[in-house]
Structure 1
């Protein structure tokens, strides 16, 4: 039996991971949740170091995947203490507990550890974060690599996938403004057309992580820094246009070609995925196909709730 502890199983990425990993024969997945507890997950606050240690001791996993984090740049900017507790201290605590069971620890990081001026970025490129979120995730990477006897950091860019509300992903969070702009009386919505992003589908990431876990289970453990990214560059304005097309809305959208966010964001942090690709790891679903799946599933659920 190969046992995986999934920390943060109720979030956008965590749910996709749980669905993917639970399909593997001979694997046992023990998932935790904090803000969305359920009978299928263990309630755990990763800021409680004693609770984390007790959980890892009880599960005795072969591998730990850390999908819990504070991922909102504006929140990190306003509350660096919270960002540090979730993105740095919790990673160190989990890795230290995992060491006692010789477990491999995989921690999720971000493309925002780079300043976006010289893409594409390799796994060994020099980080230079522009904001508190990127800084906290970089410190979390260091906490993992300095603490884990066996560990790996997986950097990911903008994520989207099956959602429980529009705001759960920065991709689908655009939908309400798109819908409000549609029709003859719609109010035009301004969308960022400056920053280049690489939307990445969470079920694809789940496949990547499952493949990484498979290698660990076969004693071919991946260590250090790895990266995975979608390969379709687009700004928010372009994302919004494709969302409007998928929703069959005549949206009135205006591109904003200079940065306007209060929290500084990088221009283009394209992550090179070559290290994992060389190992035969990876899957990419075209954006237009994946986003239609996401929208259809969410709208179907909304109809059932009415």
Structure 2
């Protein structure tokens, strides 16, 4: 029996990963959650080093996937201590505990470790983060590699997938403004048309992680840094247009050609996925197909202001 611990299983990526791994009949999945505890999930605060060590010792997983993080750039900018606790210190604690058990650790990182000026970025390109979020995730990468020789960092860009609220993904968070702009007499919604993003579907990422876990289960663990990304470049304005089409809304949208975020964000951090692709790993669902799946499954689909 191959045992996988998914840390942060109640989040956007964690849920997709648990759903994917549950299909493996000869695997056992131990899922943890903190802010959204639920039946079948172990309550774990990854900021509590002793609790983390006890969890890993008790469960003795063969592999551990860290999907928990503070991923909101504005929050990281205003609360760097929280960003460090979740994105750096917790990674070090988890990876160290897993290393003592001989378990492979996979830690999730971000395209924001790059400044976005010279895409595409390879796994060995030199990082240069622009904001506190990017800095904390880069330090988290170092925390992993310093804590275990049996570990891997998976960098990912903008994620979207099955949601529990519109705000859970930066893609679906656009829906309330899109819906508002379609109301009679409303003002157009202004959407960023400067930053280029590569929306990536969480069930595809979960599929990639399962393939990576299979290699470890077979004694051929992937180590170091790898990257995975969707391959359709689009800015938020273009994402909003496609969301409006999927929702069948006559939205009024205005592109904003200059950056408007208070927290600096990179222009184009396209991640090259070549290292995983060379191993035969990967799956990409077209954005228009995937986003319609997300919208169709959301229980308040018609209530765009929910």
Fold conserved (TM > 0.5)?
Answer: yes
**8 Å contact kept, 2:295–2:301:** no
Partner of 2:111: 111
Instruction: Show the counterpart of 2:273.
Output: 273
* Structure 2 residue 197 is matched with structure 1 residue 206: no
2:147 corresponds to: 147
Q: Distance in 2 between matches of 1:300 and 1:10?
A: 19
Question: Cα offset for 1:271?
Answer: 0.1
Q: Does 1:85 align with 2:85?
A: yes
Alignment of 1:148-187 (within 5 A): 148-187=148-187
Q: Is the 8 A contact 1:113 1:128 kept in 2?
A: yes
2-side partners of 1:3 and 1:207: how far apart?
17
Q: Kindly report structure 1 stretches of 4+ aligned residues shifted beyond 3 Å.
A: 299-303
Question: Shift of residue 183 of structure 1?
Answer: 3.8
- CA distance in structure 2 between the partners assigned to 1:92 and 1:135 by the alignment: 15
- Structure 2, unmatched stretches of 5+, are none
SS of 2:105's equivalent in the other structure is strand
- Contact 2:196 2:233 (8 Å CA) reproduced: yes
1:289 aligns with 2:289: yes
Kindly state the Cα deviation for residue 186 of structure 1 after the two structures are TM-superposed. 2.4
Normalization by structure 2: what TM-score?
Answer: 0.98
Counterpart mapping for 1:101-140 below 5 A: 101-140=101-140
TM-score norm. by structure 1 comes to 0.98
Displacement, 1:283? 0.2
> Is 1:158–1:200's contact at 8 Å kept on the other side of the alignment?
yes
- Rounded Cα–Cα distance in structure 1 between residues aligned with 2:108 and 2:62: 18
Residue 228 of structure 2 is matched in structure 1 by 228
Shift of the 41–48 alpha-carbon distance from structure 1 to 2, 3 Å rule, reads same
Aligned to 2:27: 27
Q: Which residue of 2 aligns with 1:244?
A: 244
Give the equivalent residue in structure 2 for 1:37: 37
* Contact 1:31-1:42 at 8 Å conserved across structures: yes
Is 1:181–1:189's contact at 8 Å kept on the other side of the alignment?
Answer: yes
Contact 1:102 1:149 in 2 (8 A): no
Contact (CA 8 Å) 1:229, 1:273: kept in 2 or not? yes
What SS does structure 2 have at the residue aligned with 1:100?
helix
| Distance apart, 1:83 and its partner CA | 0.1
Equivalent-residue separation in structure 1 for 2:9 and 2:237 (angstroms): 31
Q: Is the 8 A contact 2:12 2:168 kept in 1?
A: yes
Post-superposition shift, 1:233? 0.0
Deviation at 1:299, TM superposition (A): 4.0
Please give the alpha-carbon distance, in whole angstroms, between the structure 1 residues aligned to 2:199 and 2:284: 11
1:213 is paired with a residue of what secondary structure? Answer: helix
Residues 166 and 172 of structure 1 are in contact (CA less than 8 Å); yes or no, is this contact kept in structure 2? Answer: yes
Question: Is there any run of 5+ residues in structure 1 with no aligned partner, and where?
Answer: none
Quickly say closer, same or farther: Cα 1:21–1:302, change in 2 above 3 A. farther
1:52-77, Cα deviation, whole Å (9 max, x unpaired): 00000010010000000000000000
**For the residues of structure 2 that align with 1:220 and 1:99, how far apart are their CA atoms?**
16
